[in-house]
Amino acid sequence: MTSLQRKKHDKSMLWAIFALVLCGSVLHGARVWLLCLIAVVTAKAVDVLVSMIRRCDYDSTDHSSEVAALIFTLMLPVNIPIYIIVVSVGLAIAVGKHMFGGKDVYPFNLAALTMCCAAVNWPGQVFSAVTPFAKVDLLSGYTTQATLSNASLIKDGGVPPYGVVDMLMGNYPGVMGADFVIVIVAIGIIMILRRKITWHIPVTFLVTCSAIAFAFPRVYGFSRLESVQFEMLNGSVFFVALFMLADPVTTPKTPKAKIVFGFITAVLGMVFRYVGSFDIGTCFALLLVNTMDGYIERMVGGKKIKVKQIEDAEEKTEDKKSSQRRIYTADKTETPKPHRERIRGASDAMDLISETEDNIDNVIYSTRTISIDEILKAEAEQKKKRGGKK
């Protein structure tokens, strides 16, 4: 994926997240906006600061940090203290993004990394849930209506006492934006139809999760289909499938590899949910599978084939172009230089310039002044002579 495509993807993600923030603010109040704002400002500030420390140019069009911060924030309850968001986002952007090379090359999903960081540090606050329309203090986040999340309830052997419609609409004690299943599905369909994301990873992930929930039901006393319903509509499964697994930087590029990636993430995610300590097993699974990203791509073989196809196609087009040029320039005395020779010429020129730059100090400190053009000409002549002798 090119940088331009990634930027377009980030913009479409921001619009999608905006819709969820809007839904969240209806159910949980103005604090949703405040927390999202703080997350975005922190992400931006840390991005700029670390770029300055690294002495590399900051790309203002890169929104990956903001997207990750917003995705992370929407997975938290509305009563979360502000410092948790600031510390988690700051740490994830500084360590997870910049320590691994910065934009377009970071290996781990930033939102998942931020979520795992927060979950490990403050599990009590991160895994609580707040009743819709509850009174929450704007700054401190204090509320009397915080309860256990549905995912924790299922883990402890309980059953969420809410109807299917309420669970689809997110109308139950939960997090800020990851529980609106209907809205998330609608956004996913729109994004797939508009080709902002591909279907491979989200669909494979959801189908595999459903199959595992059907085969190994956790909720006893209910049918297998009801177990699938409880598993899929709780624990932000749809949200993770659409917003985290569709990140173009940390996921494979070929369709086959994407399907394998989605499958492994789903299996590991469900295993972590069933036997792990945290509700958000999928985030840990995603981080684990991120390390296997390149291996999956090589194992499936899609990338090699694609690269080979591209190389073949490039060779063909180059042959065509060169033959066309030969025909076009048949009457001319000079034949056009092949592409590689042109590159070699350019690299020679670059070498010459760098050598000259090295000698600039001598020019400055010598008593007589020599123009750089003269040096360049002299160097070029010398190189020509050397080439002639050889």
Partner 1 sequence: MKHKDYSYLYANWDDEVRRRKVTLSNPVFIKGLALAPIVVAGTSLANGILLCIAVFFLLTPTRIITSLITRRMSVPFKTFFYPFVSAIVFAVVYYYMYQYLGARVLLLGVYLPILVIDPLIVKNFEKTRKESVLYSFINGMRNTMGFAVACLLVCVIRELLAFGTVGGIQIMGYGLLPMAQYSFGGFLIVALVAGAWSAVVKDYRYRVEVEAMHDERHP
On whether the CB atoms of residues 46 and 65 are closer than 8 A, the answer is yes
H or E element that contains 270 = helix 255-275
Q: Which stretch binds partner 1 (CB under 8 A): 22-30, 114-122, 218-226, 335-343?
A: 114-122
Q: Smallest distance from the beta carbon of 83 to partner 1, in angstroms?
A: 7
The contacts of residue 32 (CB under 8 Å, 6+ apart) are: 21, 24, 25, 78, 176, 177
On whether the CB atoms of residues 21 and 76 are closer than 8 A, the answer is no
Task: Please give the DSSP secondary-structure letter assigned to residue 47.
Answer: H
Residue 325 phi, psi dihedral angles, 5° rounding: -65, -40
Q: Which SS3 state, helix, strand or coil, does residue 360 take?
A: helix
Interface with partner 1 includes 363 (CB under 8 A)? Answer: no
Among 30, 120, 138, 370, indicate the residue that binds partner 1 (CB under 8 A): 120
Interface with partner 1 includes 46 (CB under 8 A)? Answer: no
Interface with partner 1 includes 99 (CB under 8 A)? Answer: yes
Closest to partner 1 by CB, 120 vs 350, is: 120
Interface with partner 1 includes 38 (CB under 8 A)? Answer: no
Tell me the site size for partner 1, rule CB under 8 A.
10
Interface with partner 1 includes 295 (CB under 8 A)? Answer: no
Q: How many CB atoms lie within 10 A of CB 235?
A: 27
Binders in 365-384 for partner 1, by CB under 8 A: 365
- CB-based burial of residue 94 (10 Å sphere; 0-12 exposed, 13-18 middle, 19+ buried)? middle
The contacts of residue 369 (CB under 8 Å, 6+ apart) are: 363
Residue 286 phi, psi dihedral angles, 5° rounding: -65, -40
Q: Which stretch binds partner 1 (CB under 8 A): 58-66, 117-125, 294-302, 323-331?
A: 117-125
Q: Smallest distance from the beta carbon of 53 to partner 1, in angstroms?
A: 9
Interface with partner 1 includes 216 (CB under 8 A)? Answer: no
Q: Smallest distance from the beta carbon of 120 to partner 1, in angstroms?
A: 5
Interface with partner 1 includes 328 (CB under 8 A)? Answer: no
Closest to partner 1 by CB, 117 vs 259, is: 117
Among 33, 58, 122, 274, indicate the residue that binds partner 1 (CB under 8 A): 122
Q: Smallest distance from the beta carbon of 290 to partner 1, in angstroms?
A: 16
Q: Which stretch binds partner 1 (CB under 8 A): 116-124, 145-153, 212-220, 232-240?
A: 116-124
The candidate with the shortest Cα–Cα distance to 281, out of 152, 137, 124, is 152
Closest to partner 1 by CB, 41 vs 94, is: 94
Interface with partner 1 includes 117 (CB under 8 A)? Answer: yes
Closest to partner 1 by CB, 69 vs 117, is: 117
Q: Smallest distance from the beta carbon of 123 to partner 1, in angstroms?
A: 10
- CB-based burial of residue 361 (10 Å sphere; 0-12 exposed, 13-18 middle, 19+ buried)? exposed
Q: Smallest distance from the beta carbon of 278 to partner 1, in angstroms?
A: 13
Q: How many CB atoms lie within 10 A of CB 231?
A: 24
On whether the CB atoms of residues 69 and 89 are closer than 8 A, the answer is yes
Q: Which stretch binds partner 1 (CB under 8 A): 118-126, 148-156, 193-201, 303-311?
A: 118-126
- Whole-angstrom distance, CA of residue 70 vs CA of residue 13: 10
Q: Which stretch binds partner 1 (CB under 8 A): 16-24, 83-91, 185-193, 373-381?
A: 83-91
Q: Which residues of 79-91 are buried (b: 16+ CB within 10 A; e: fewer)?
A: bbebebbbbbbbb
Closest to partner 1 by CB, 95 vs 211, is: 95
- Whole-angstrom distance, CA of residue 87 vs CA of residue 8: 28
Residues within the interface to partner 1 (CB under 8 A): 83, 87, 91, 95, 99, 117, 120-122, 365
